[in-house]
Structure 1
Amino acid sequence: MDKVQLEKHTSLLYEIAMSIGNSLDLDVSLKESLTTLLRKLDGIGIGVFDQRDPEKPIAQIPIRGQKAYVPLVKEAIQVKSDSPTTPHVLLIREGENELGYFFNLPNTGVLFFRRRKPLDAVTIKVLNRLCAKLDQSIQACFATQELNRKERELQNSLIQLQKAQEYKDKFLATVAHEIRTPLNGVVGFIEQLADTDLNETQRHYIDVINHSSDSLMGIINDTLDFSKIDSGKLELDFHAVNLHEVLLPAIELFKCKASEKNILLVTQIDAGLSQGVMSDSLRLKQVVSNLVSNAIKFTEQGRVDVNMALTEENQDALRVRFSVRDTGIGIDSNSLNDIFNPFLQAEKATARRFGGTGLGLAISYQLVKKLGGTLSVNSEPGQGSEFAFELTFEKSEIPKVPEDTVVETDAFKGQKILVAEDNQVNQMLVSAILKSINADFTICNNGAEALEAFEREKFDLVLMDINMPVMDGLQSLHHMREHERTQAKPKTPIIALTANALVGDREKYIEHGMDDCLAKPLRKAELFHVFEACLSEKVRDVDG
């Protein structure tokens, strides 16, 4: 072979080499490399065969007409299996006006190449090396296919997991609704009964019932909160708050419970924390309340110390250390690692002894994490425990806190209120509350009845249950708003009443057109607050 032929030969093999492995898509990659091989080497047929199933080619050109060569492919694969040292060419077979060459693809199988004229020794030697590269390219494509398959499986699993999570959320919301509905009647009528003349024994019974109702509501709320956190749907609502004014009243609520157990509850809050900061007051209060409640629960005697210390401060932010220390039963070192695991906590003997779901600490740990801190615990059995965390707060203007409003018995006398509620117990409860303020009210059993009454009469406020037969609350709301629009009537305050408690429900209902949302069980104070906000202007207009 002279110099010119050698250069031409080298260039040709270089082009073949450059056509191999340019894509991780198996079909695309083999089409390019096999087409180049066939064209550059004047071939009449080419194919790649899998050693695991030689009757099904991985790729071949032309696509049809090579089935007759399968016995030769099997023979070549057998030679490959039997040969301890693989030759450059596994097998060469002569046919009518053609030669068939079988090259080894170490991890894949064989390359079958058909040509009219024989290949020279140099080309065969180089092709053997190129087949090693082709084999690596095919294996890379196989690996990519496997990764893609696993990715699809993971995506499908994720979709199924998300669906399962949605089903779980809906199930929990439904269960919460079914529990809250009768509980609404229990809590509401406890409040009504507490306002009557009771002797000491009767009032004690009321307190026991009220405590049991609050415990049940706490379990419901903990379960729903944990579900939200577990599904990643819990969102924080940051706004300007006063730490002192938000947290101190929440802690004070536990003094009665501590006193019942002869436990001293001591609270220390730095004076510097009276300034305004940005935080989610509801969730921060929930964390501190959970920790204080937990400390009192596991303390038989002694004290519980709640401390909020200002550790750092600059012009824009401040850092606060929150700690709750008790003289309770303590936690052994083997249990410390599981203290924030709700599922392990529920199995502990202490959980069976002291009660509870074991969700409080798990929820608090996750909430502190979302707020930007880490909840830690130090404990010694028989000596007590300390739960602590630090948070950094952005400074803000101190929000103005409105003064408490005292509602007079006749404050809303003559105000016409429409109530849409299908549950008879809830109807009785709302009736009792509205009678106590001498309001004029109409009760309907579903959204359709409420709509008829709304279109027939003028009301000052509507209390609208969400889940009702015939027509639900949102459907009735939309028809009412449409009636106001077409009749050019002023907008009537419509308040949603719901036993649903999923994240974003209040915002969703307000977005639909509600003016506010009250969660069941209804509390008289919350209802009066809404009346004050929605009806005070109308009361003044009537009086004026």
Structure 2
Amino acid sequence: MNFLRELKFTFKEVKLLRSSIFFLIAFTSIITSFIYFAYQIEFVFYVNLVYLLLILLCAFIYLRCRLFFPGRYVSFLATCTLTLVLSNAEGIEGLAFLYFLPIATIIPLINSKNEQFKFQALLFYGTFFTFLVATTFVTTLQNTQHYTPDQVKILRRINLSIIFLTTIFYSIFGLLQERSYINRLKKNALAAEELKDKRMAMLSVLGHEIRTQATSINAASGMLSETKITSEQQPLVDVLNYCTSQMFYLINDILDLRKIETGKLSLQLAGKDLRHIINTVTIPFRERAQTKKLDLKTNFDERLGGKVIMVDEFRLNQVLHNLLSNALKYTQEGTIFFTVKLLDENEDHLSIYFEVADTGIGIAAENLDKIFDSFYQAKSDDIPIYGGSGLGLTIASNIIEEMRSTLNVESVANKGSRFYFTLQTEIGKLTEKAVENPVIKKQLQGVEVLVVDDNKMGLMFATKLLQQKGVTVHQAKNGLEAIETFKLNPATSVILLDLEMPEMNGYVAISELKNINPGVTVIAFTANIPDAAFIEKLINLGFADVLSKPYEPKTFIDKVQQHV
């Protein structure tokens, strides 16, 4: 009974359908054996009987022992052997050697579509051609001399009928199986795409919520830093600030990964001073290098001094930050080299070479193709575990591709790594904000500002920063409260409006606020990372600017002063 239960279960498997073709061969062999027996050719009958026993043995191996490949191969071997024996017994005029035609159509059906595909294909076709060549040597003309002409005709008809029918059957079965396989692949691909979309949507929502809560932690630590802190408490506050910043790096990486996988990663080009970019990105790493007793050497081509290039400064900083961060992380001793070199220059374009090299643990040759995969991390036998999400190089590589270049890597295990890329950029002009004509910052004393945020800590932090500058602050926790508060305080000149709130969000509330006073300045508060499309959407809704959470106190105050 147990065997029958297993047999019932096994019949549900697709693999069993492939082996069922051998039972068809066994059935046709039994028919031919009785026909041959009628002509008193006992040798052929016994050969078919042995073949039938082999088929039953293969069925036992396949169904009972669950050895799928051995079962198929032994069946295939037995079928080829039977064809060889029949060809020798019947001779050329019997046409039994043509049974190799349906056998050839069997191979694609019984070959597994898995990691062993190539090996099994070579084994099956190698066995097939071996028997085919052997058959040409053992098949002779003499073997049909003891048949009458009518018997030879009948023998040919029987063989040709079976060969024709089995070949047609296997061909149709193969086409149906391939179509089913292709349909399954398409269905699995669609399911995988839907699953990926659901996963990335979930990560986006989760990332936004975590970012909101992390903003509260950042606000609390910021307010704590401004109080009287003892020497014993200061290290704890520093740890809190550092962990918060690392949390934001992780969240931003997850949100960037979603943009990459959904094809929404875009660049915002503007004229930027290259030397300023390099100085900005390297300064934070110098102290970290000194802490680890590493030498960070920056080789900046002086021909690039004063050059303004059209580039997305934020994204280029992100790439260089990831490369330098990895170099520091995986280097325990030695030197880190950061090189920026001019390769070519004409009237309106520059070719600039960037390289980050280190003397760290390096990457094994077999892992070089994996390091740009999401969530992959290099490991060493001596130091097996490193922190981080494993997304930095994935994001950096995709950003560089968006910049129409390629992030390359060369590495030797236990000797170090070298990451490099070349950017072809247009020569640009500094944007108005970058020109050294600082914006005249107006005094905030006596200015009325409405802060709208459903996050209690965020609302408290923004209020405190503004009150320190003498601002009169009005508060609201959602869009509905903001409208009522604005009606009661018409002198409000700036509204800081959170976008995601209960009851009424910022996207809806702004139209009502603009109806009350079209001239009021509304700045969007958001835990999202704004891209070009998002900013354009906000502008179309009537927002004057956007402020991403978390923010530095100075950035926050500067933003408000610009719009007073």
Q: TM (normalized to structure 1)?
A: 0.66
Alignment-derived partner of residue 167 in structure 1: 198
- DSSP-derived class of the 1:354 partner: coil
Maintained 8 Å contact 1:464/1:473: yes
User: Aligned equivalents of 1:186 and 1:321: distance in 2?
Assistant: 40
Deviations 1:216-248 (A, max 9, x none): 111111111122112222112222222222232
Match of 1:482 in 2: 515
Q: Post-superposition shift, 1:445?
A: 1.6
Pick closer, same or farther for the CA change 1:338–1:150 going to 2, 3 Å: closer
- Note closer, same or farther for the CA distance 1:346–1:322 as it changes in structure 2 (3 Å cut): closer
The whole-number CA distance in structure 1 between the counterparts of 2:375 and 2:331 is 22
Letter paired with 2:476 = C
Report the counterpart of residue 497 of structure 2 in structure 1: 464
Relative to structure 1, is the Cα distance of residues 209 and 309 closer, same or farther in structure 2, using a 3 angstrom cutoff?
A: same
Provide the C-alpha distance between the structure 2 equivalents of 1:82 and 1:287, rounded to a whole number of angstroms: 73
Contact 2:451 2:463 in 1 (8 A): no
* Corresponding residue for residue 501 of structure 1: 529
Q: Tell me the residue number matched to 1:92.
A: none
Give the superposition deviation at 1:347.
Answer: 7.9
Q: What is the match of residue 357 of structure 1?
A: 389
Cα distance, 1:249 vs structure 2: 0.9
Q: How far is the alpha carbon of 1:266 from its aligned partner? A: 1.8
Name the CA distance, whole Å, in 2 between partners of 1:404 and 1:208: 37
Match of 1:371 in 2: 403
What value does the CA root-mean-square deviation take over the aligned residues? 3.5
- The answer (yes or no) to whether the contact 1:173–1:502 under 8 Å persists in 2 is no
Shift of residue 327 of structure 1? 1.9
One-letter amino acid matched to 2:563: C
User: Structure 2 counterpart of 1:481, which letter?
Assistant: K
Q: Shift of the alpha carbon at 1:303?
A: 2.1
1:383-462 aligned at under 5 Å gives the runs: 383-400=415-432, 401-403=434-436, 411-458=443-490, 459-462=492-495
Pair 349,182 (structure 1): closer, same or farther in 2 beyond 3 Å: farther
| CA displacement at 1:297 relative to structure 2 | 0.9
Structure 1: tracts of 5 or more residues without a match: 1-80, 87-103, 109-138, 485-489, 536-544
Q: 1:422 to 1:516 in 2, by over 3 A?
A: same
SS state at 1:293 partner: helix
Q: Secondary structure at the match of 1:340?
A: coil
Contact conserved, 2:220 with 2:457, CA < 8 A, in 1?
no
Q: Deviations over 1:261-308 (max 9, x none)?
A: 122222121123231222222111111111011111111222211110
Aligned ranges for residues 525-536 of structure 1 at < 5 Å? 525-535=554-564
Q: Structure 1 pair 500/349, CA: closer, same or farther in 2 (3 Å)? A: farther
Q: Secondary structure at the match of 2:248?
A: helix
Q: Distance in 1 between matches of 2:462 and 2:536?
A: 24
Deviates further, 375-384 or 297-306: 375-384
SS at 1:185 equivalent:
helix
Q: Note the 1:143-182 alignment, pairs <5 A.
A: 154=186, 163-182=194-213
What's the CA shift string for 1:390-429, capped at 9, x where partnerless?
Answer: 1111222244515597999x93011111111112111211
What is the alpha-carbon distance in structure 1 between the residues aligned to residue 504 and residue 361 of structure 2? 54
Q: How does 1:17-416 map to 2 (within 5 A)?
A: 84=160, 154=186, 163-273=194-304, 274-345=306-377, 353-400=385-432, 401-403=434-436, 411-416=443-448
The 2-side partners of 1:439 and 1:369 are apart by 46
Q: Which residue of 1 aligns with 2:551?
A: 522
SS of residue in 2 equivalent to 1:170: helix
Query: Deviation per CA, 1:419-445, whole angstroms, max 9, x where unpaired?
Result: 111121112111211121110011112
> Is residue 242–residue 399 contact of structure 1 (8 Å, CA) maintained in 2?
no
Q: Using a 3 Å threshold, how does the CA distance of structure 1 residues 532 and 272 change in structure 2: closer, same or farther?
A: farther
SS at match of 1:337: coil
Q: Distance in 2 between matches of 1:215 and 1:454?
A: 37
Contact 1:323/1:388 (<8 A) preserved: yes
Amino acid at match of 1:532: Q
Q: For the Cα contact (< 8 Å) 1:499–1:521, is it kept in 2?
A: yes
The answer to whether the 8 A contact 1:188-1:523 is kept is no
**In 1, distance between residues paired with 2:385 and 2:358?**
18
Q: Return the alpha-carbon distance in structure 2 between the equivalents of residues 345 and 317 of structure 1.
A: 36
Aligned residue-pair number: 403
SS at match of 2:352: strand
Q: Which runs of no fewer than 5 residues in structure 2 stay unpaired? A: 1-156
CA distance in 1, matches of 2:288, 2:540: 40
What displacement does 1:174 show? Answer: 1.6
Structure 2 CA distance for partners of 1:421 and 1:250, relative to 1, 3 Å: same
1:152–1:454 Cα change, 3 Å:
farther
**Change in 2 beyond 3 A, CA 1:309/1:414:** same
Shift of 1:321: 1.0
What is the percentage of aligned positions where both structures have the same residue?
A: 30
Q: Deviations over 1:455-500 (max 9, x none)?
A: 232211001111111111111111112333xxxxx41111111123
Deviation at 1:448, TM superposition (A): 0.2
Answer 1 or 2: which has greater helix percent.
Answer: 2
Query: What is the CA–CA distance in structure 2 between the aligned matches of 1:224 and 1:256, rounded to whole Å?
Result: 28
Q: Please tell me whether the aligned partners of residues 173 and 501 of structure 1 are also in contact (alpha carbons under 8 angstroms).
A: no
CA distance in 2, matches of 1:223, 1:502: 14
- Match of 2:520, SS state, is coil
